[in-house]
Amino acid sequence: MLKISVLGCGYLGLTHAVCMASLGHEVVALDIKQEVIDQLKTGKITFFEPGLQELLDANSSRIEFTSDVSRVRGARVHFLGVGTPRSLQGKAADLSYVRNSVLSLIDHLGFSGETEIIVGKSTVPPGTAGELRAMLEGVSGVDLVWNPEFLQEGNAVNDTLRPDRIVYGTHNGEANWATELLDECYQDILDTGTPRFITDFATSELIKLAANSFLATKISFANAYAQLCDTVGADILTLVKAIGVDERIGEKFLGAGIGFGGGCLPKDLAAVQAIYADKGLEVPGALFTAVEAINQDAHHYVSSLAVSKLENSGGKKVAIAGAAFKANSDDIRESPGLRIAKHLLEQGFDVVVTDPAALGSARKALPTATFVHDIRQAVQDADLLLVVTEWQEYKNLDPADLAPKKKIVIDARNCLDVNTWKNHGWDYTGVGHR
Ligand code: UDX
């Protein structure tokens, strides 16, 4: 087993640190935010992620949480799991955290007495790994491998321990002692037959961006067709099922509704646009500009549907079911549902928001809305119910348990059973689906 360090205790870093400890490695997990480390030291994870708390409980003896970077001394593998948020100036990714992480490591490398590697897991534009490796010039016995992470919130533990693939980018695209050391770290995962790709830095960096921008493209494709379906009286759910049985297309990530949000897809799609623009590739880059425009339009479309159902705002109450950007998450970053809530508030509606996991952060983000824990309470006397997050609890709702003023529901995720709601006398509207 290896001693390893993980820099960054956000979604990516903390999940990786805990999963590596579960494989038997000794892990030092770092974050520059003292409050994050203070909470992790109490044994409690800092975000909602199914299975992660239990995995930490079972492996806490092998993880040390610290903000003191010198504690990485002696580790042979140093993972970079810090964020690459959208920069304040524009669409490109802000690389300051990855650069600072490498800088902060330099004085503490070489203490294991053996070779060591820095392994980048963050999502970065092409050229970054090469730039970071150049910062290590003169540090002997240390190399850098780019190893992007593909974890999905809500399924993060499974995606880390049972990934679809493992990608290693090296400076010359070849396997070497550094990839062998990383193999040792991932031995249990590789032993299950996980495909592993060894390639150059640029390809490894682009694989992650291509995966996320492809997923974004599929979602916008579905949303583009959903509006057309509404216009011509067709049904998006049947359409997607019928095209999705063709294996070349596949039905996953063709869920139409309010568009994608979260900490990755919007940011990475913006970064991809910045890369194409930077390289002067305007025509192919226009694909991603259109994907983003359709995504923005998706939640405007749902807002307009709501406004047209309500006719005017005077004293009207809208119950919004969901605040998290997707189900099984407490993350509200770029949440399309909260954007709709904000828009309706601006239009003068009385907006009541409920969510099983994200109420605390939603309340801070949208202080002028009303927040309640119980969906039934939210719907009480409402003129419209708008379902924006596909929580199982909402899918299971019995319309007979609800006491709205008007029985109007907009199912912005196409996740409710149309007939159940219609049979209870509700005016049901989905997105490209009735
Ligand atoms: C995503 C990628 O899936 C993951 O591989 C990558 O490592 C990080 O980014 P995540 O941000 O957790 O993961 O969310 P994901 O489950 O992909 O959903 C992204 C957004 O798309 C959500 O807002 C979701 O509601 C929306 N979505 C997803 C749709 O609108 N329709 C779909 O069919 C699927």
pLDDT digits (tens, 9 = 90+) for 189-226: 999 999 999 999 999 999 999 999 999 999 999 999 99
Rg of the chain on CA atoms, in Å: 23
**pLDDT number for residue 422:** 98
Beta bridge partners of 12: none
* pLDDT single digits (tens) 171-183: 999 999 999 999 9
pLDDT of residue 405: 97
CB 200 within 8 A of CB 170: yes
Ligand 1: atom nearest CA of 326 is 25
Q: Which atom from ligand 1 is nearest to the alpha carbon of 335?
A: 23
Instruction: Note whether 302 and 309 are within 8 A (CB).
Output: no
Atom of ligand 1 minimally distant from the CA of 156: 12
| Euclidean distance between CA atoms 36 and 117, whole angstroms | 26
Kindly report, residue by residue over 122-162, the tens digit of the pLDDT: 999 999 999 999 999 999 999 999 999 999 999 999 999 99
Q: Cα(152) to centroid of ligand 1, in Å? A: 7
- The pLDDT score that the predictor gives to residue 312 is 84
Confidence of residue 434 (pLDDT cuts 50, 70, 90): very high
CA gap 163, 197 in Å, rounded: 13
Q: What is the pLDDT of residue 89?
A: 82
Q: How much is the pLDDT for 291?
A: 98
**Cα→Cα distances 60→7, 17, 26, 56, 300, Å:** 17, 10, 10, 5, 45
Active site residue 229: no
Residue nearest to atom 34 of ligand 1 (CA): 253
- pLDDT (0 to 100) of residue 261: 98
Atom 20 of ligand 1, nearest CA residue: 260
Q: Kindly report the pTM of this predicted structure.
A: 0.96
Give me ligand 1 centre to Cα 181, in Å. Answer: 32
pLDDT digits 0-9 by tens, 62-101: 999 999 999 999 999 999 999 999 998 889 999 999 999 9
In ligand 1, the atom with minimum distance to the C-alpha of 259 is 30
pLDDT number for residue 205: 98
49 lines ligand 1 (CB under 6 A): no
Tell me the average pLDDT of the chain.
97
Average pLDDT on 235-262 reads 98
How many Å lie between the centroid of ligand 1 and the Cα of residue 259? 10
Nearest CA among 172, 163, 156, 171 for reference residue 195: 163
DSSP β-bridge partners for residue 353: 320, 371
Give the confidence band of 227 by pLDDT, cuts at 50, 70, 90: very high
Say how many Å lie between the CA of residue 154 and the centre of ligand 1: 10
Q: Is 212 in the pocket of ligand 1 (CB under 6 A)?
A: yes
Residue 320: band (very low, low, confident or very high) from pLDDT cuts 50, 70, 90: very high
**Complete edge-to-edge strand list for the sheet that includes strand 166-170:** 63-66, 26-30, 3-7, 77-80, 116-120, 142-146, 166-170, 196-200
Q: Tokens in use for 356?
A: 């099983």
The CA distances from residue 246 to 141, 200, 242, 253, in Å, are: 50, 33, 8, 14
Instruction: Report whether residue 150 contacts ligand 1, using a CB cutoff of 6 Å.
Output: yes
CA dist., res. 48 & res. 62, Å (int): 22
pLDDT in tens, 366-424: 999 999 999 999 999 999 999 999 999 999 999 999 999 999 999 999 999 999 999 99
pLDDT at 314 over 90: no
Catalytic residue among 9, 185, 264, 415: 264
Percent of the chain residues past pLDDT 90, beyond the cut: 98
pLDDT of residue 146: 98
The model's confidence at residue 313, banded by pLDDT at 50, 70 and 90, is confident
Q: Is 83 in the pocket of ligand 1 (CB under 6 A)?
A: no
Ligand 1 centroid–CA 180 distance in Å is 32
The answer to whether the CB of 265 is under 6 A from ligand 1 is: yes
Confidence of residue 2 (pLDDT cuts 50, 70, 90): very high
